Structure 1
Amino acid sequence: MTDQPSAAKPETPFHDLDHYLAIPRLSGLTLSPDGKRLVTTVATLDPKKTGYRNALWQIDPRGTEPARRLTRSAKGESAAAFTADGRLLFTSARPDPEAADDDSRAALWELPATGGEARVLHSREGGVGGFTVNTSSNAIVVRASVLPGAVDEETDAELRKARKEKKISAILHSGYPVRFWDRDLGPDQDRLFVLEEVQEVPELPGTSDSGSTSKLRLITEGIGAGLLESETVLSPDGSFALVGVSIPGAKAEMRIQIERIDTLSGQREVLLAADDADFYPGPISPAGDRAVVVRESRSTPEQAVSYTLWLLDLNSGERSSLAPDWDRWGNPVGWLPDGRTLVLTADHNGRSPIFLIDVESGAVRQLTGDDAAYTNVLVAPDGQALFALRSSYAFPAEAVRVELASGEITALIGPVERPKLPGRLEEVSTTAADGSTVRAWLVLPKENAGASPAYPLLLWIHGGPLGSWNAWTWRWNPMIMAARGYAVLLPDPALSTGYGQQFVQRGWGRWGAEPFTDLMAITDAVVARPDIDESRTAAMGGSFGGYMANWVAGHTDRFKAVVTHASLWELPGFSRSTDMAMYWRREMSEQMAAENSPHASVSKIVTPMLVIHGDKDYRVPIGEGLRLWYELLASSGLAADERGESPHRFLYFPDENHWILKPQHSLVWYSVVESFLAEHVLGQELKPVKELGLA
Structure 2
Amino acid sequence: MTSETVLSEPSSVDDAGQAAQPAEAVRPATPFHSLDHYIALPRLSTLALSADGNRLVTAVGTLSAKGTEYTTALWELDPAGQRPARRITRSAKGEAGAAFLRNGDLLFTSARPDPDMSDADAGNGPVAALWKIPAAGGEGRVVLSRPGGIAAVQAARDADTVTVTAPVLAGSADEDDDAARRKARQERKVGAILHSGYPVRFWDQDLGPGQARHFVLEPAGPGAGGLDPSAAAEAADADPGLPGTIDAEPALKLLNITPDAGAALLEAGSALSPDGRTLLTGYRRPLARGDSRSVLAAVDTATGARRILLDSEDAEYQPGPVSPDNRRAVVVRELISGPDRIPDVTLGLVSLSDGGFVPLAADWDRWPHPAGWLPDGSAVVVTADEDGRTPVFLIDTASGTVRRVTGDDAAYTDVVVSPDGRYAYALRSSYRFPPEPVRIDLASGGILPLPSPAARPQLPGRLEEVETTVTANGTSTRVRGWLALPADASAQRPAPLLLWVHGGPLSSWNAWSWRWCPWILVACGYAVLLPDPALSTGYGKEFVRRGWGRWGQEPFTDLMAITDEAERRPDIDSSRTAAMGGSFGGYMANWIAGHTDRFRAIVTHASLWALDQFGPTTDVSTYWEKEMTAERAEANSPHRHVEEIRTPMLVIHGDKDYRVPVGEGLRLWYELLSRSGLPADENGDTVHRFLYFPDENHWVLSPQHARVWYSVVENFLARHVLGQETGLPAELGL
Q: TM-score, normalised by structure 2?
A: 0.92
Which residues of 2 match residues 383-394 of structure 1 at below 5 A? Answer: 383-394=421-432
2:684 is aligned with what amino acid?
G
Return the alpha-carbon distance in structure 2 between the equivalents of residues 170 and 465 of structure 1.
34
2:196 is the alignment partner of 1:174: yes
Deviation at 1:204, TM superposition (A): 9.2
Match of 2:118 among 92, 97, 100: 100
2:378 is the alignment partner of 1:340: yes
Return the alpha-carbon distance in structure 2 between the equivalents of residues 525 and 508 of structure 1.
24
In 2, are the aligned partners of 1:561 and 1:677 still within 8 Å (CA)?
A: yes
Return the alpha-carbon distance in structure 2 between the equivalents of residues 205 and 150 of structure 1.
29
Q: Aligned residue for 2:684?
A: 644
2:72 is the alignment partner of 1:54: yes
In 2, are the aligned partners of 1:229 and 1:246 still within 8 Å (CA)?
A: no
Q: Aligned residue for 1:456?
A: 496
Which residues of 2 match residues 588-667 of structure 1 at below 5 A? Answer: 588-667=628-707
What are the superposed Cα offsets for residues 93-121 of structure 1, whole Å, 9 maximum, x if unpaired? 00000012344111000100110000001
Match of 2:305 among 262, 267, 279: 267
What are the superposed Cα offsets for residues 598-620 of structure 1, whole Å, 9 maximum, x if unpaired? 00000000000000000000000
Match of 1:124 among 123, 146, 160: 146
Q: Aligned residue for 2:31?
A: 13
Return the alpha-carbon distance in structure 2 between the equivalents of residues 222 and 60 of structure 1.
43
Q: Aligned residue for 2:315?
A: 277
2:176 is the alignment partner of 1:154: yes
In 1, are the aligned partners of 2:491 and 2:571 still within 8 Å (CA)?
A: no
Return the alpha-carbon distance in structure 2 between the equivalents of residues 425 and 485 of structure 1.
14
Gaps of 5+ in 2: 1-21, 226-234
Gaps of 5+ in 1: none
Q: Aligned residue for 1:256?
A: 294
Other structure's SS at 1:414 match: coil
Deviation at 1:209, TM superposition (A): 5.3
Q: Aligned residue for 1:441?
A: 482
Deviation at 1:206, TM superposition (A): 14
CA 1:363 to 1:206, structure 2 compared with 1: closer, same or farther past 3 Å? closer
What are the superposed Cα offsets for residues 302-342 of structure 1, whole Å, 9 maximum, x if unpaired? 22111011111222322121112210001011000111101
2:464 is aligned with what amino acid?
E
Return the alpha-carbon distance in structure 2 between the equivalents of residues 399 and 211 of structure 1.
33
Match of 2:396 among 358, 371, 374: 358
Match of 2:367 among 329, 346, 350: 329
Q: Aligned residue for 1:536?
A: 576
Return the alpha-carbon distance in structure 1 between the equivalents of residues 76 and 372 of structure 2.
22
In 1, are the aligned partners of 2:244 and 2:250 still within 8 Å (CA)?
A: no
Deviation at 1:404, TM superposition (A): 1.3
Q: Aligned residue for 2:232?
A: none
2:468 is the alignment partner of 1:430: yes
CA 1:111 to 1:526, structure 2 compared with 1: closer, same or farther past 3 Å? same
2:60 is aligned with what amino acid?
V
CA 1:556 to 1:37, structure 2 compared with 1: closer, same or farther past 3 Å? same
Return the alpha-carbon distance in structure 2 between the equivalents of residues 313 and 693 of structure 1.
62
Q: Aligned residue for 1:70?
A: 88
In 1, are the aligned partners of 2:298 and 2:352 still within 8 Å (CA)?
A: no
Other structure's SS at 1:410 match: strand
CA 1:33 to 1:206, structure 2 compared with 1: closer, same or farther past 3 Å? closer
1:91 is aligned with what amino acid?
T
Match of 1:470 among 503, 506, 510: 510
Return the alpha-carbon distance in structure 1 between the equivalents of residues 357 and 284 of structure 2.
21
What are the superposed Cα offsets for residues 53-87 of structure 1, whole Å, 9 maximum, x if unpaired? 10000111111110110000010000111111111
In 2, are the aligned partners of 1:233 and 1:242 still within 8 Å (CA)?
A: yes
Q: Aligned residue for 1:687?
A: 727
CA 1:457 to 1:262, structure 2 compared with 1: closer, same or farther past 3 Å? same
2:205 is the alignment partner of 1:196: no
CA 1:478 to 1:206, structure 2 compared with 1: closer, same or farther past 3 Å? closer
Other structure's SS at 1:555 match: coil
Deviation at 1:644, TM superposition (A): 1.1
2:528 is aligned with what amino acid?
V
1:14 is aligned with what amino acid?
F
What are the superposed Cα offsets for residues 372-391 of structure 1, whole Å, 9 maximum, x if unpaired? 00000010111111100000
Return the alpha-carbon distance in structure 2 between the equivalents of residues 467 and 592 of structure 1.
21
Other structure's SS at 1:479 match: helix
1:442 is aligned with what amino acid?
L
In 2, are the aligned partners of 1:229 and 1:245 still within 8 Å (CA)?
A: no
Q: Aligned residue for 2:5?
A: none
Deviation at 1:132, TM superposition (A): 1.6
Which residues of 2 match residues 22-37 of structure 1 at below 5 A? Answer: 22-37=40-55
1:173 is aligned with what amino acid?
H
1:174 is aligned with what amino acid?
S
Q: Aligned residue for 2:600?
A: 560
Match of 2:454 among 416, 431, 434: 416
Other structure's SS at 1:436 match: strand
What are the superposed Cα offsets for residues 634-654 of structure 1, whole Å, 9 maximum, x if unpaired? 100001111112100000000
Return the alpha-carbon distance in structure 2 between the equivalents of residues 586 and 478 of structure 1.
33
List structure 1 runs of 4+ shifted beyond 3 angstroms: 199-211
Return the alpha-carbon distance in structure 2 between the equivalents of residues 400 and 526 of structure 1.
33
In 1, are the aligned partners of 2:579 and 2:599 still within 8 Å (CA)?
A: yes
Other structure's SS at 1:441 match: strand
CA 1:207 to 1:267, structure 2 compared with 1: closer, same or farther past 3 Å? closer
What are the superposed Cα offsets for residues 486-512 of structure 1, whole Å, 9 maximum, x if unpaired? 100000000000000000001001000
In 2, are the aligned partners of 1:571 and 1:597 still within 8 Å (CA)?
A: yes
Task: Give the fraction of aligned pairs with identical amino acids, expressed as a percent.
Answer: 61
2:76 is aligned with what amino acid?
Q
In 1, are the aligned partners of 2:152 and 2:166 still within 8 Å (CA)?
A: yes
Q: Aligned residue for 1:223?
A: 261
1:444 is aligned with what amino acid?
L
Q: Aligned residue for 2:418?
A: 380
In 2, are the aligned partners of 1:202 and 1:210 still within 8 Å (CA)?
A: no
Deviation at 1:135, TM superposition (A): 2.5
Deviation at 1:210, TM superposition (A): 5.0
In 2, are the aligned partners of 1:614 and 1:655 still within 8 Å (CA)?
A: yes
1:633 is aligned with what amino acid?
L
Deviation at 1:536, TM superposition (A): 0.5
In 1, are the aligned partners of 2:157 and 2:275 still within 8 Å (CA)?
A: no
Match of 1:40 among 27, 34, 58: 58
Deviation at 1:251, TM superposition (A): 0.6
Other structure's SS at 2:271 match: strand
2:604 is the alignment partner of 1:582: no
Match of 1:238 among 266, 276, 285: 276
1:260 is aligned with what amino acid?
A
Return the alpha-carbon distance in structure 2 between the equivalents of residues 21 and 685 of structure 1.
23
Other structure's SS at 1:212 match: coil
What are the superposed Cα offsets for residues 197-230 of structure 1, whole Å, 9 maximum, x if unpaired? 3337544999875531110001002110111021
Return the alpha-carbon distance in structure 2 between the equivalents of residues 130 and 167 of structure 1.
27
- Is the deviation greater in 241-250 or in 209-218? 209-218
In 2, are the aligned partners of 1:132 and 1:232 still within 8 Å (CA)?
A: no
2:205 is the alignment partner of 1:183: yes
Match of 2:712 among 655, 667, 672: 672
In 1, are the aligned partners of 2:243 and 2:251 still within 8 Å (CA)?
A: no
In 2, are the aligned partners of 1:91 and 1:130 still within 8 Å (CA)?
A: yes
Q: Aligned residue for 1:495?
A: 535
In 1, are the aligned partners of 2:484 and 2:519 still within 8 Å (CA)?
A: yes
Deviation at 1:452, TM superposition (A): 3.3
What are the superposed Cα offsets for residues 3-47 of structure 1, whole Å, 9 maximum, x if unpaired? x97532100000001010111000010111111111000000110
Return the alpha-carbon distance in structure 1 between the equivalents of residues 94 and 70 of structure 2.
9
CA 1:206 to 1:430, structure 2 compared with 1: closer, same or farther past 3 Å? closer
CA 1:236 to 1:206, structure 2 compared with 1: closer, same or farther past 3 Å? closer
